[in-house]
């Protein structure tokens, strides 16, 4: 099969190469990839930014999001059959959606929403699962609460705003002014132009912050929370709890503890909870998201669709930070 690979950590582009079709385990489905979406995570892995946390072996096929058709099912697979249209955020250490085929454990797969195209479905899993695990699983966002979602026009932001509104929250977000109309249609209540305004002087007594920016922004975010508020960060710094959760060696636990020390101290001083989220593949949660999509409560936001041959161009566009919503490649 054709696949985009790297043979080492690099800032250069991906290589289009011939790769073996994945082996199908007893609990796996083999998926013919129709579309895949790109995430900043793909770029960060390519450059080696996660090599301590995710020590991959080479050659490595990148790609975390997929929509496609099941063409083979392992002997113990119960939920899916050949011909099913599915989508998935494939798990760490089994990534590889920038390819013609991928094998995925059935526990990480869900049936594709009936009202979405393959391209739309491929745009959803990673960002929607991130929003779900942040706002539903971890902070249990409730009706009437106020949530600040940074970078509202990004992949996670566009979905998180819609999910927060469905949960009954008041939503504030940052973006450039040219994205305001889009974000209003998604449900954002308060729009802050990050180029000309400082959210720290505008927002006060918020219940929840979803941080996707740098440490400076994270520290400022703590200042807008009410006592016992919650800040959940998807961009770091990782915490000792996260290190324990994924079973890192002792020396990495010490490093992560030091990296997050000042943030954890500041959060404690302000009597707020700080949590680092590194989202996980989860087919059951994706099924719940599917119901919201089929009820038109969450809609995909896609900026551009590229052909498979233009995957490197698509990844460069994601790295530029200009995309509103998601960037997708059409494999088949």
pLDDT tens per residue, range 316-329:
999 999 999 999 99
Q: Given this model, what pLDDT does residue 10 score?
A: 97
Cis geometry, peptide bond prior to residue 237 (ω within 30 degrees of 0)? yes
In a domain, 287, yes or no: no
Q: How many angstroms separate the CA atoms of 188 and 162, rounded?
A: 8
Question: Looking at the chain, how many residues does it have?
Answer: 332
CATH of the domain at 247: 3.40.50.720
**Residue 148: band (very low, low, confident or very high) from pLDDT cuts 50, 70, 90:** very high
Q: Given this model, what pLDDT does residue 6 score?
A: 98
**Domain co-membership, 12 together with 111:** yes
Q: Given this model, what pLDDT does residue 52 score?
A: 87
Above 90 in pLDDT, residue 174?
yes
What are 247-278's pLDDT values in tens digits? 989 999 999 999 999 999 999 999 999 999 99
**Domain co-membership, 253 together with 189:** yes
**Residue 109: band (very low, low, confident or very high) from pLDDT cuts 50, 70, 90:** very high
Q: If you average pLDDT over residues 275-303, what whole number do you get?
A: 97
Within 8 A by CB and 6+ apart from 130, the residues are 156, 159, 160, 234, 277, 279
Q: How many angstroms separate the CA atoms of 168 and 162, rounded?
A: 10
Q: How many domains does the chain have?
A: 2
**Domain co-membership, 135 together with 262:** yes
**Domain co-membership, 131 together with 267:** yes
Closest of 76, 207, 96 to residue 149, by C-alpha: 207
**Domain co-membership, 14 together with 108:** yes
Segment holding 158, helix H or strand E: helix 155-166
Q: Mean pLDDT score of the chain, rounded to an integer?
A: 97
**Residue 56: band (very low, low, confident or very high) from pLDDT cuts 50, 70, 90:** very high
268 DSSP β-pair partners? none
CATH of the domain at 325: 3.90.180.10
Q: DSSP secondary structure string, 185-235?
A: HHT-SEEEETTT--HHHH--SEEEEEE-S-HHHHHHHHTTEEEEEEEEESS
In a domain, 267, yes or no: yes
Question: Domain of 239?
Answer: 127-276
What are 2-54's pLDDT values in tens digits? 999 999 999 999 999 999 999 999 999 999 999 999 999 999 999 999 998 89
Q: If you average pLDDT over residues 129-149, what whole number do you get?
A: 98
Q: Given this model, what pLDDT does residue 85 score?
A: 98
In a domain, 83, yes or no: yes
């Amino acid at each position: 099969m054709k696949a985009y690979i790297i043979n080492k950590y690099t800032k250069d582009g991906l290589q289009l190469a011939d790769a073996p079709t994945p082996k199908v385990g007893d609990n796996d489905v083999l998926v013919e990839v129709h579309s895949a979406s790109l995430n900043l995570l793909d770029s960060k892995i390519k450059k080696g930014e996660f090599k301590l946390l995710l020590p991959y072996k080479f050659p490595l096929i990148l790609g975390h999001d997929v929509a496609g058709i099941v063409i083979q099912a392992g002997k113990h697979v119960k939920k899916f059959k050949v011909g099913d249209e599915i989508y998935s955020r494939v798990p760490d250490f089994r990534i590889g959606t920038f390819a013609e085929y991928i094998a995925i454990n059935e526990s990480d797969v869900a049936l594709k929403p009936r009202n979405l195209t393959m391209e739309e479905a491929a745009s959803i899993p990673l960002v929607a699962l991130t929003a779900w695990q942040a706002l539903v699983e971890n902070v249990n966002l409730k009706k009437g609460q106020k949530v600040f979602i940074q970078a509202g026009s990004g992949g996670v932001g566009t979905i998180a705003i819609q999910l927060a509104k469905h949960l009954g929250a008041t939503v504030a977000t940052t973006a450039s002014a040219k994205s305001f109309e889009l974000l209003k249609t998604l449900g954002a209540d308060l729009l802050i132009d990050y180029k000309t305004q400082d959210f720290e002087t505008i927002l006060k007594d918020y219940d929840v912050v979803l941080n996707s920016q740098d440490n400076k922004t994270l520290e400022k975010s703590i200042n807008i929370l009410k006592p016992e508020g919650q800040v959940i960060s998807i961009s770091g710094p990782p915490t000792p709890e996260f290190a324990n959760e994924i079973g890192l060696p002792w020396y990495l636990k010490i490093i992560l503890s030091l990296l997050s020390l000042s943030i954890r101290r500041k959060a404690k001083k302000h009597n707020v909870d700080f949590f680092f989220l590194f989202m996980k593949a989860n087919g059951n949660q994706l099924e719940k998201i599917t119901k919201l999509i089929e009820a038109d409560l969450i809609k995909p936001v896609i900026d551009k669709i590229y052909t498979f041959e233009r995957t490197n161009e698509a990844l460069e566009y994601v790295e530029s930070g200009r995309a509103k919503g998601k960037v997708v490649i059409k494999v088949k």
